[in-house]
Structure 1
Amino acid sequence: MTALYIDADACPVKAEAERVATRHKVRMFVVSNGGLRPSQNPLVETVIVPDGPDVADMWIADRAGTGDVVVTGDIPLAAKCVEAGAKVLKHNGEALTAANIGNVLATRDLMADLRAADPFRQGGGKGFTKADRSRFLDALERELRAAARL
């Protein structure tokens, strides 16, 4: 049975994911190290993991597999989930797949090296837009429909 895993720390689309999961009657796990208000939805389980680097990521990676959908902005977690057969979406709806995860990891590592080489370099990340939210909703809807056909 398909499950939806949300890497919930700093996730801007938790409410949207819950609405789509509820419509599809899919169990949803919202995983973080705390600070979230639990949902009253019986399909949504809030999982609080201990503090520590990547503990939430490890919890998701240990469980996600074929037929599941993972929502995360964490590229190493995405790579582990793709390898396990799960479908992975970023918050903006971008799918991370076996075909593109290598390039995405390489770009992430390159950007980390550039930031380390220039301590004055500022973030410069794009803001989260309504269009990103809409693309996410479309992509999640598509992935959950596909998973239901498995």
Structure 2
Amino acid sequence: MPIWVDADACPVVLKEILCRAANRTQTMVTFVANRGIKTPSSAYIKSIQVSAGFDVADHEIVERTQAGDLVVSNDIPLSAEAIEKGAIVLNMRGERLTEANVRSRLNMRDFMDTLRASGIQTGGPAPLSQRDRAQFANELDRWLTHNKT
């Protein structure tokens, strides 16, 4: 089962983790972005550059995703659509999103958008920590182990 990565917002350190895992486990990883993404030369790693535009990369990922695939993204609407198709979703901090928690995150996202639209400064997410990187790598390994047996 392949891994689809929302690469526009994926930190370099996570791209490196994904590339090492792809080669180690011979799992196809595809980075999708609306700009060129440099990837190492490998039969298991590729990138798709889509046209510029709002959510074009997200729509491409959803269109290609099948049940059981892994989608790596922080985008909540993309995650919700992928989950509806039966995909497993892992965000950039290593949290697994499910039907049970993605709806509440969609609601929170919409609420924060409303606050920002009214002029309230909400700030951005905290920088990716070492703990976040480790959790991402561990959850990725769990998915890879489960899908290679």
1:38 lines up with 2:54 in the alignment: no
CA distance in 2, matches of 1:22, 1:66: 22
Residues 31-87 of structure 1: CA distance to partner in whole angstroms, max 9, x if unpaired? Answer: 111132132111111111111111110110001121210100111000000000010
What SS does the aligned partner of 1:100 have? helix
Aligned residues: 147
Percent identity at matched positions? 38
Preserved contact between residue 49 and residue 56 of structure 1 (Cα < 8 Å):
yes
SS in structure 2 of the partner of residue 88 of structure 1: strand
The equivalences for 1:78-89 within 5 A come to 78-89=79-90
Letter of the 1:121 counterpart: Q
Aligned equivalents of 1:85, 1:139: Cα separation in 2: 18
Report which of the two has the higher share of helix.
2
Unmatched 5+ stretches in structure 1: none
Rounded Cα–Cα distance in structure 2 between residues aligned with 1:63 and 1:94: 22
SS at match of 2:100: coil
String of CA shifts for 1:71-127, please: whole Å, max 9, x gaps: 00111000000000010000010001111111111111111111112x251514211
More displaced 10-residue stretch of structure 1: 108-117 or 72-81: 108-117
Q: 121-130 vs 24-33, which deviates more?
A: 121-130
> Is contact 1:49–1:55 with CA below 8 Å preserved after alignment?
yes
Distance in 2 (alpha carbons) for counterparts of 1:82 and 1:148: 21
Tell me the distance in 2 between the aligned counterparts of 1:81 and 1:139.
18
Runs of 4+ with >4 A deviation: none
1:3 corresponds in structure 2 to: 2
Tell me: higher relative CO, structure 1 or 2? Use CA pairs within 8 A at least 6 residues apart: 1
Provide the residue aligned with 2:26 in structure 1.
Answer: 25
Opposite residue 9 of structure 1, the aligned amino acid is D
Matches within 5 A, 1:91-130: 91-117=92-118, 119-130=119-130
CA RMSD of aligned residues (A): 1.3
Q: What runs of 5+ residues in structure 2 fail to find an aligned partner?
A: none
Q: Which residue of 2 aligns with 1:141?
A: 141
Q: TM-score, normalised by structure 2?
A: 0.93
Amino acid at match of 2:130: K
Q: Give the 3-state SS of the residue equivalent to 1:99 in structure 2.
A: helix
